[in-house]
Structure 1
Amino acid sequence: MTGIDGAGTTSRRPLRADAQRNEDRLLEAAAEVFAEEGPGASVKDIARRAGVGVGTLYRRFPSKELLIEAVYRHEVQRLCAAAEELAATLPPVEALRTWMERFIDFMAAKQGMADALRVILTDDGEKLHTRTLLVDAIAWLLDAGEGTAPAPRPDADARDVLMALGGISLMAASEEQRELASRLIDLLLRGVVGH
């Protein structure tokens, strides 16, 4: 049975463990293939990379658009969940920097799916929900650094950091510009972390 959860996304019954593993592999493989080849990527290539049959892919995602939408939501969730994991395993500034690098990679992959995501990305409710999740992840990382040396500046605002990262991702959208993105992240970190 499906329904709509509070976030405005479709919810469904939990999957069997093997079906969940297949779905996770499909979403990870699709994210990689879409990032490499864009939305015109072959579903056969995605299924092959995930180690499942095309029939399995179509049972889980009856259209490529639904697959792209699921990949986008899955990648947002993974990126946001990474904030807590990074904060628990790395020094605060390193955790923040690593998350910022992952954000840039996420945005580059999203560009490869932009045409197919147009409906999602223009839905104000979806954009607000995604932005809230991302701001919360950055806030978690900033809060994890409080009381450490070096610590985030007390006036560092998670929304401002997200906007700056969005700008960096636009300026460094191509693979050739990836090194520029890393340099700009270093500059941003100097502004966020007090010395």
Structure 2
Amino acid sequence: MRNRDLALDAAMALLAEPGATLTVEAIARRAGLGAATVVRAFGGKDALLDAAVARLLEPVVRRARELLATTAPYRALRTFLRELITFQAAHHAINDQLTGLDLPATTALRAGLVGAVEEMLDGARRDGRVRADLDPALATTLIGTTALAVARAEPSSPGLVDAYLTVLLDGLDPRPSHGAAG
């Protein structure tokens, strides 16, 4: 169990470093273990990275569920998107390293994130705060894709996040804009 924890901690540390190489050898070196020990502890790189990324995503999914349970849907959406962009800005390089890997826990957690955002949108739509004429799956994809693009922007800026949220949420608002020219 100790070797598994060391390898998992090393993988998570490497995931937090932009440009870090996520090989079994690099993870083993960071953990102070042999590559064979890391493979035995997880059964392979995919399982190790799945466990590490899942550990990073679990609190994000928990936070989305917490906001859904305690906050009005529109406010939950706005708050969660700001927090999600902050998380993605710190970890966006992970996506590039996971392509083509078998990651069932990560896939399930990502589905949980999408589901939470869809629930926020549905609730905000029922409350009259989000347009009903947009396909919910399209709106979720639009939000996720553009939020990731904002998170990847260099240099990261709170002003950019604020502008993104304003433009996005104004565009989702079913009421006509006060400043629109007729």
CA drift at 1:189: 1.3
Go from structure 1 to structure 2 and tell me whether the alpha carbon gap of 1:145 and 1:177 turns closer, same or farther (over 3 Å shift).
same
C-alpha separation between the residues in 1 aligned to 2:147 and 2:19? 21
Match of 2:94 among 113, 118, 128: 113
Larger Rg: 2
Amino acid at match of 1:152: V
Residue among 129, 133, 144 paired with 1:151: 129
Instruction: Name 1:99's counterpart in structure 2.
Output: 80
Question: Number of residues paired by the alignment?
Answer: 165
Q: Percent identity?
A: 27
Q: Deviations over 1:16-43 (max 9, x none)?
A: xxx7xx96x9868854652234433764
CA contact (8 A) 2:74 2:123 kept: no
Counterpart among 149, 156, 163 of residue 177 in structure 1: 156
- Tell me, which stretches of 5 or more residues in structure 1 are unaligned? 1-18, 48-52
Q: Give, as a single letter, the amino acid of the residue that structure 1 aligns with 2:51.
A: A
Q: 1:136 aligns with which of 91, 96, 115?
A: 115
Q: Which is worse superposed, 83-92 or 168-177?
A: 168-177
Distance 2:48 2:106 in 1: 18
Residues 153 and 192 of structure 1 are in contact (CA less than 8 Å); yes or no, is this contact kept in structure 2? yes
Matched, 1:165 2:128: no
Superposition TM-score, scaled by structure 1 size: 0.58
Letter aligned with residue 122 of structure 2:
D
Question: d(CA) in 2 for partners of 1:129 and 1:147?
Answer: 27
Among 169, 174, 177, the residue aligned to 1:194: 174
Q: Kindly report which structure 2 residues correspond to 1:71-110, keeping only aligned pairs within 5 A, or say none.
A: 71-110=52-91
Paired residue secondary structure (1:36): coil
Judge conservation of contact 2:51–2:105 (CA < 8 Å) in 1: no
Q: Distance in 2 between matches of 1:109 and 1:65?
A: 21
Partner of 1:34: 15
**For residues 28 and 147 of structure 1, what CA distance do their matches in structure 2 show?**
42
When residues 33 and 89 of structure 1 are mapped into structure 2, their CA distance, relative to the original with a 3 A threshold, is farther
Query: Aligned-residue CA RMSD in angstroms?
Result: 4.2
Q: Specify the code of the residue in structure 1 equivalent to 2:93.
A: G
In 2: Cα distance, 1:187 partner to 1:29 partner: 39
Structure 1 distance, partners of 2:74, 2:85, is 17
